[in-house]
Amino acid sequence: MVNQVQASIQLSSKLPVSYTPDVVVVGGGASGIAAAMAAARNGADTLLIEQRGYLGGMGTAALVPAFCPYTDGEKPIIRGIGLELLEKMKLAAGEAFYSRNKDRLDWVAIDVETLKCVYDQEVLESGAKILFHTFADQVLLEGDRISGLVISNKSGRSVVQAKLYIDATGDADLAALAGVPFQTGGEHGEMQPGTMCYLVTGANQARFDQFLIDTGQNIALENTVIEAQRNGDLPQGRKRISGIAWITDTVAGFNFGHIFGIDGTKAEDLTRAAIEGRQLIQVQIQFLRKYVPGFEDIHLVHSGDQIGIRETRRIAGDYTLVVEDYMSMRSFEDDIARNAYFIDIHLANASSTMTIKYLPKGKSHGVPYRCMLPQGKSNLIVAGRSVSSDRPVQGSLRVMPNCFAMGQAAGTAAAMASRDGGGFREISVSGLQRRLIEQGAWLGERPGYAEHDQAAISGHIEFEEEC
């Protein structure tokens, strides 16, 4: 450790210090957006670092076509910043889009270009600063604290020195660089496959809907997919389409098919997935034109900048959320969010099966603050799909609405710790919970937890129940 500290001091003395915020957030996906907004709104000087030229993570870079549910089937449980951003996108996308989605909180289609602008505007209006096209490639350590990050971009290499650090990379990149222990995938290291999502135009939703009515198929088109696989027009593997999200009557987003054996923390795997994913899209476009009424004249207009990644690292935290906590709908004294999304572990190869477990409608479990606190680091917190959980629970927590909720908690905690001059374990957790509730979050119906009525939910779900 002495040599590590000495090396950090030597490196930081050679590089210029480019930023000295109270809080730095690394990663501009759902958890990072909410974390930056929450930290800034609560008074912290905040910098958000993102490797691409826009925010949104899997929802924009990977073109995930729709937001997973915000509700437990009866009421919205993801509220606060996450729900605020969803409603902002609906309004900004125009009258026709809003009319389609005004009463929906589950499986709302993503208008990607609108959402990018909404994220830019809301983060900047919160008071946070954004730095695009930038990687954090090294962590400087002093004991159990991070003393700085080395960042790389077109301006060169420099050091960011903050009081508090939020890892919102989705892959626990910052935590891994800092030496935090972690797990990946299943017992044999297998990970959920990736999906290359895409947008098509020239579709006819009315014709497609009538086809579903005439054939009695739901939106997964299982019988049609099986027929195409039998005829050799689709590769063997999954027997259904994960989801079709209609942005307009003629534009639809697809979450369809798998690329297996991908480790999202390896550039070589991401490269192979990008190439194979684009090839698979061409096969799927031909399938849609040939087999699915309403898609005869479609044209591919956009594929994901990268493959959609469902899982990589899971940190070792102060508490590990396990499947028994999920199934028993357990609440914790340090809850900072609620989760009702089903456990959704996609098949690891073309011949394996999926794992899906549901909670009863109207029920949820707590997400404890401790599962975001990485072992051995005092001024680092992790938000998003890489928090401390077992693999089944990660298959539920990983979706964007949950990431918004965890990010809001992480950012609020960072602002509190910055104000108090301590680390993440030294804040008042009850004070954090009160502040989250005051700012619109929902932490359950139990003594001391305020109930906040929000928009009514819709029972009409068009998007298939998987992400």
In a shared domain, residues 129 and 6: yes
Using one digit for the tens of pLDDT, what is the confidence trace for 20-67? Answer: 999 999 999 999 999 999 999 999 999 999 999 999 999 999 999 999
In a shared domain, residues 425 and 279: no
Q: Which of 188, 108, 19 is nearest to 460 (CA)?
A: 108
pLDDT score, position 243: 83
Distance between CA atoms of 126 and 445, rounded to whole angstroms? 29
pLDDT category at 349 given cuts 50, 70, 90 is: low
Cα Rg, the chain, nearest whole Å: 22
Distance between CA atoms of 323 and 326, rounded to whole angstroms? 5
pLDDT score, position 455: 36
Using one digit for the tens of pLDDT, what is the confidence trace for 290-308? Answer: 999 999 999 999 999 999 9
* Residues with Cβ within 8 Å of residue 328, at least 6 apart in sequence: 365
Say if 457 falls within a structural domain.
no
Say if 92 falls within a structural domain.
no
Contact present, 215 and 223 (Cβ < 8 Å):
yes
In a shared domain, residues 145 and 36: yes
What average pLDDT does this structure show over 341-350? 78
Say if 160 falls within a structural domain.
yes
- The residue segments making up the domain with residue 242 are 198-303
Say if 206 falls within a structural domain.
yes
Say if 331 falls within a structural domain.
yes
In a shared domain, residues 14 and 123: yes
In a shared domain, residues 281 and 378: no
Q: Do β-strands 198-201 and 243-246 pair in parallel, antiparallel, or remain unpaired?
A: unpaired
**Counted domains in the chain:** 2
In a shared domain, residues 168 and 207: no
Query: In this model, does residue 364 exceed pLDDT 90?
Result: yes
What average pLDDT does this structure show over 319-346? 95
In a shared domain, residues 223 and 141: no
In a shared domain, residues 203 and 180: no
pLDDT category at 10 given cuts 50, 70, 90 is: low
Q: Which of 234, 260, 133, 241 is nearest to 197 (CA)?
A: 241
